[in-house]
Amino acid sequence: MREMMRRDRASAMLGMVVELDEPGHAVVSMTVREDMLNGFAITHGGLVFALADTAFALACNEDERVTVAGGADITFLKSTTAGQKLTATAARRVVNGRNGLYDIAVTDETGDAVAEVRGRSIVTNRV
């Protein structure tokens, strides 16, 4: 496991599991717990985004340079609830200089689309 994930207390607290970690491509899963539900008994959208963001972070940090999100847009497509397993798959679309564009698909355990995210990354001067 990469150092950035060993230090990622938020992803650990949410029970995220890294399934695949390759340059430009990552897969991260999370089982929805009761304490992840909103007032309508569906998965809180912020937690769906958190899962997508973790996969995005892994995919865009391809070398020793620290790369962070410059922005992202999410479209929610299907609600989920406790007990369901969500999987976020992030894939690099293009990197040009310090900027990158990534697509992240979040699916449920049946493969149905839960959310789609378009993330924009920027390479920092940090190492």
| Amino acid 62: pLDDT | 87
99 pLDDT band (50/70/90 cuts)? very high
Q: Is 83 helix (H, G, I), strand (E, B) or coil?
A: coil
Mean pLDDT of the chain: 96
In whole angstroms, what is the distance from residue 56 CA to residue 24 CA? 9
* CA gap 116, 103 in Å, rounded: 7
Cβ contact 51:116 at 8 Å:
no
Distance of alpha carbon 83 from alpha carbon 32, whole angstroms: 5
Q: Which domains does the chain have, with CATH numbers?
A: 3-123 (3.10.129.10)
Q: What is the pLDDT of residues 79-90, one digit of tens each?
A: 999 999 999 999
Q: Given pLDDT bands bounded at 50, 70 and 90, which one contains residue 35?
A: very high
What pLDDT, on the 0 to 100 scale, is given for residue 2? 85
Token pair belonging to 52:
């997508």
pLDDT on residue 126: 83
Q: What are phi and psi of 15, to 5 degrees?
A: 75, 25
> CB 97: neighbour CB atoms within 10 A?
7
pLDDT digits (tens, 9 = 90+) for 42-82: 999 999 999 999 999 999 998 889 999 999 999 999 999 99
Decide if pLDDT at 33 tops 90: yes
